[in-house]
Structure 1
Amino acid sequence: MSFNIGFTRGWGAVAFGFALLGSAVAHAQDAVTLKMVGAWAPGFSPTAEVGKNFMENVNRLGEGKVKVQYIGADDVLPPFDQPEALVNGVFDVWYGAPNYWAGIVPGGDITELSPLTIPDGGPGSPLYDYIVGLYAEKGVRHLGHAAGDPGEGAHYVSTNFPVKSVDDLKNMKLRVAPLTRHFVKAVEAESITLPPSEIFLAMDRGTVEGFSWPVADAFTRYGWQSVTKYMINQPMYRSGGSVAMNLDKWNSLSPEVQDILLKAIAETQTFALDWFQKNQKEQEGIMTEAGMQILTLSEEESARWNKTANDSLWAYYGTVLSAERIGEIKALFAAD
């Protein structure tokens, strides 16, 4: 009798243990895994740390509920093909340059002109909600644009000829990024499109006489300081990194998981402020040690440069967005 009772109680304890184990396994299996692809691999590109930081924040805040799994960067898919792949659900989360969305979400990179500390205002702000709506029309859930303070981590023009005025760029051959081609056209320079891997040789051989690049993003890791003489100290636009999700995937998540993702991106946007400032100073130090000169324009010429840069980009947005939307965005820039 006592044996049977002991056996029954023992078996009951084992069964209860298995039930707990099964519950734990089921709970772990309930955690959502989001596949993430980025434009650049973490490690080489400081801007890629935006994506990495977001992933780490999600995995910490969402332990047991949601995690981000990094799949790869250009080894998975060419960067300019990645936004469309995200829309099509090939993966769930993406990070890269905001202007990579220009072909899919007209005006999707308009926060490049934002005067706010956080370019899109951050989750919960009127500007943020407006940008979210802009992306949602194309099947994308905008999560955040993370950048340095205005002027930190921005695009700069570097040249092999001295520059005292925006007029000195006229007729010069300048390698451009999609975002800066409008400025280069406005100053009547010749815009040339090249991947970053070809800039060194182009500058060394004189195929181009200058180029635009967000200096904080690994300028000297490409070795450009050895074939470039000057950087003009005129920051343009906000640059930084953007994080986005497939909209259907976002809509499939519980409100709790969505809230975790929003908290994670808010932390990343705060992280980016100091991160880009740190990398900007580091890159400039290496550049000057290599013999490059950082040129500062007069107050009058600096104002002309800034006006040309901003006016040319606003003019472009005027061709892809309605006048009503342009007015709404300008009002949000001023209000937030």
Structure 2
Amino acid sequence: MIYRRIAGFSKRTAPALAVMVTMALPLTTAHAQEKIRLKFADWMPLSHYTVINGAQPFMSKATELSKGKIEFQYFPAEQLGKAKDLLTLLQTGVADIADISPSYISDKFAMSSVAELPAMFTGACQGTNAYAQLVKQGAILAEKEFKPNGVRVLVSVAYAPYKVLTSKKKIETIKDFSGLKLRTAGGAMDITTTQVEAVPVRMPGPDILPSLTRGTLDGTLAPLQSVKVFDIQTQVKHMTTDVSLGSFITVYAISDRAWNRLPEDVRATLTEAGNFASKNHCEYVDTQEKKVVQDLEKDGVKGNTMAPGQLKALNDKLGAVAAEWASALDKRNRPGTAVLADFRKAVGN
């Protein structure tokens, strides 16, 4: 099994190395016993729980099921490119599989942010399973979003509902959000932030800490389990734990270019391994949520809930976000209303 970094590798050598990898490790299917080598590009660091509970189990299970026929060359931590560039790496053949986060390239995957709308689900598995139904072959997001971009989803990941963490001001009422510069992941989360009269600042996870340190952010919307991954707990003092301000989606997708060159047994193996990894990741997230709150409080991030009556008022206010999101897509000739209806049906709302 191969899921490792290449010794001496750095971001500056990425373009040249990518060419060497492409030449040295072709995706081969000519002989039944020949190895299938797949290049997997990820933007997340090795320490991230999604790598540990998603990427690694996916590769391990695929290698196990194929009896070693499938091998991976794994490039974590933006070694082959930034999160926003990984779709391009798939489309150009530099990578075979990549971690694509739709919010970071919302011009290409605007409808996928349906799973990032506020108050849509209460747990990671509920959100993951619903999103997976929409990206399976023949379903609306697979046909309307992923297929036109030349990729298909192997692993679906929905995070626990986002909370709000702030460096100075504790959030207990709707008015407390007003004017705060809050990091978002883009997509539907921008609408959510604007709805509570805060200022959305779109950026990927690795950029949150330096922005908090410089004071260009007042806080962030984030899943609590990602806080320590990016050392955000060193700069925030408060977390409001009972809100559901959306979520974040990331997928491991394979290019059609790579998929079409694979024999049927390898396709089946990758599909099974993908389903295994999706389940493994969401179950980990759901079982760890309470412990994460306790750990963050030990690190000095004080938890609180909304003031009496304010959580309901917040959810009522955020109820308009989904309709606004769907309407905006409909006006761009994208089936936002249909996607929202399908997701609500899948999630059980």
Q: TM-score range by the shorter chain?
A: 0.7 to 0.9
Cross-structure match for 1:84 = 88
Structure 1 residue identity aligned to 2:176: D
Name the CA shift for 1:56/1:112 in 2 (closer, same or farther; >3 Å): farther
Cross-structure match for 1:304 = 313
Cross-structure match for 1:274 = 283
Cross-structure match for 2:33 = 28
- Which structure 1 residue ranges, 5 or more long, are not aligned? 1-24
Give the distance between the partners of 1:208 and 1:284, measured in 2 at CA: 22
Question: Can you list the C-alpha shifts for 1:208-232, whole angstroms capped at 9, x where unaligned?
Answer: 3222222212x12444324322111
Q: Is the 1:122–1:144 Cα contact (8 Å) retained in structure 2?
A: no
**In the alignment, does 2:150 pair up with 1:139?**
yes
**In the alignment, does 2:158 pair up with 1:156?**
no
Name the CA shift for 1:335/1:60 in 2 (closer, same or farther; >3 Å): same
Alignment TM-score, normalising by the size of structure 2: 0.76
- Which structure 2 residue ranges, 5 or more long, are not aligned? 1-29
Name the CA shift for 1:278/1:126 in 2 (closer, same or farther; >3 Å): closer
Q: Is the 1:142–1:245 Cα contact (8 Å) retained in structure 2?
A: yes
Question: Can you list the C-alpha shifts for 1:101-122, whole angstroms capped at 9, x where unaligned?
Answer: 4232331343334647253547
Cross-structure match for 2:49 = 46
Cross-structure match for 1:10 = none
Q: How does 1:65-80 map to 2 (within 5 A)?
A: 65-80=69-84
Give the distance between the partners of 2:76 and 2:214, measured in 1 at CA: 33
- Which one has the largest radius of gyration? 1
* Stretch of structure 1 that moved more, 75-84 or 189-198: 189-198
**In the alignment, does 2:338 pair up with 1:328?**
yes
Structure 2 residue identity aligned to 1:333: F
Q: Is the 1:171–1:189 Cα contact (8 Å) retained in structure 2?
A: yes
Give the distance between the partners of 2:263 and 2:330, measured in 1 at CA: 33
Q: Could you tell me the percent identity over the aligned residues?
A: 19
Q: Is the 2:128–2:282 Cα contact (8 Å) retained in structure 1?
A: no
Q: How does 1:106-185 map to 2 (within 5 A)?
A: 106-113=110-117, 115=121, 117=126, 119-121=128-130, 125=133, 128-129=136-137, 130=139, 131-134=141-144, 135-147=146-158, 153-159=160-166, 160-179=168-187, 180-185=189-194
Cross-structure match for 2:9 = none
Name the CA shift for 1:69/1:282 in 2 (closer, same or farther; >3 Å): farther
Give the distance between the partners of 1:288 and 1:58, measured in 2 at CA: 38
Q: CA deviation at 1:45?
A: 1.2
What root-mean-square deviation, in Å, do the aligned CA atoms of Structure 1 and Structure 2 show? 2.9
Q: Is the 1:38–1:94 Cα contact (8 Å) retained in structure 2?
A: yes
Give the distance between the partners of 1:106 and 1:193, measured in 2 at CA: 15
Q: Is the 1:101–1:109 Cα contact (8 Å) retained in structure 2?
A: no
Alignment TM-score, normalising by the size of structure 1: 0.78
State the SS of the aligned residue for 1:107.
helix
Give the distance between the partners of 1:96 and 1:281, measured in 2 at CA: 28
Give the distance between the partners of 1:91 and 1:325, measured in 2 at CA: 30
* Stretch of structure 1 that moved more, 325-334 or 308-317: 308-317
Q: CA deviation at 1:161?
A: 0.8
Cross-structure match for 2:16 = none
Q: Is the 2:61–2:273 Cα contact (8 Å) retained in structure 1?
A: yes
**Aligned residues between the structures:** 304
Give the distance between the partners of 1:231 and 1:191, measured in 2 at CA: 18
